[in-house]
Amino acid sequence: MLEKLEALYQQASQELDGVNTSEALKEWERAYIGRKGAVTLMLRQTGQLPPEQRADFGRRANEIKRLLTEAFAAREALIREQELARSMEEGQIDVTLPGRPVLTGGLHPATQTLREIYAIWAEMGFQVYRSRDVETDEVNFELLNIPPHHPARDMWDTFHTTMPGVILRTHTSPGQIHAMRDYGENGTLPIRVILPGMCYRYEQITARSEIQFNQVEGLAIGRNIRMTDLKGTIAEFARRMFGANRAVRFRASHFPFTEPSMEVDVQCILCGGEGCGVCKYTGWLEIMGCGMVHPVVLRNGGYDPTEWSGFAFGMGPERITMLKHGIEDIRYFWSNDLRFLEQF
């Protein structure tokens, strides 16, 4: 029995010298010194030996188990160091390789158009003025020459709130009143501002209409401002926005807060005026409405219409973006579809 124990010790020692991985080391431990290992099982057989052999066998079996346990611990530490070194070497960062590209977002197409509009008007001396989205009925309608029950109110489907007289603005034109009262200093200073912002209308969502959209209002007030100033300024903007050789035309129209009023068209940028589906085969695209500020609106803003005059205009950045890129459905702007947004 003692010879068998010595042979098992030699076998276990030789196998341990050949173990190089943590998995193999665990298997070796289970096979020899674990609860059901060969050395452990032989040690439990001590009581079955003749009395005169038990002491020597038990003493040698315990010694062998201790030696194998110490050898196991040393081997475990060595393998752990080797595996750590191998992991460090294999996972080493090669700083000569190019880094992984970081995906970044892009500007929304409407935002791109807004910034282009800002830049053009800034070059012509207009400042950006921000006004509020939640407005009163008085400022949104009455001070803009649209009294209660006026037929012009049918042009806007208004979102009303639970507070009487408080609504979501239907256009950026009420910003004219705020700008005149904030910047005009009681009607004593000239003004040149653009008023960008979101507008809200309770309309059916279709390919051509949305319940929310951006607008950019413009306002210029000074002494002796005439219709020729308005036409020249709008024509210059249209040429900078759509091309230096782009033809511009003005059509008579009506807005309650301007008198006289006009619609502005530019030559179709897709067909060059030949006629296509986008321009409905007219050769022209409508880009904005404009006009001379109504005397009632001037007075409500704190200016004396006998001494001051001005012009105003309003445009939709989404519509301009649709015209420039041939986009046929305004719902794309708010659907958050990356297939659409990443094109810009």
pTM: 0.67
Q: Is the pLDDT of residue 213 over 80?
A: yes
Q: What is the pLDDT of residues 54-102, one digit of tens each?
A: 787 778 888 888 888 888 899 889 888 888 888 777 766 667 778 788 8
pLDDT at 285: 85
Number of domains in the chain: 2
- Residue 229 shares a structural domain with residue 282: yes
- Residue 9 shares a structural domain with residue 79: yes
Residue by residue, what is the 3-state secondary structure of 253-294? EEECCEEEEEEEEEECCCCCCCCCCCCCCCCEEEEEEEEEEC
Q: 52 or 337: whose pLDDT is higher?
A: 337
> Residue 104 falls within a domain, yes or no?
no
- Residue 221 shares a structural domain with residue 300: yes
pLDDT at 94: 66
> Residue 103 falls within a domain, yes or no?
no
- Residue 172 shares a structural domain with residue 312: yes
pLDDT at 252: 95
pLDDT at 152: 64
- Residue 68 shares a structural domain with residue 160: no
pLDDT at 232: 95
- Residue 117 shares a structural domain with residue 218: yes
pLDDT at 133: 94
Stated as kind and residue range, the H or E segment containing 313 is strand 309-315
Domain range for 334 is 109-341
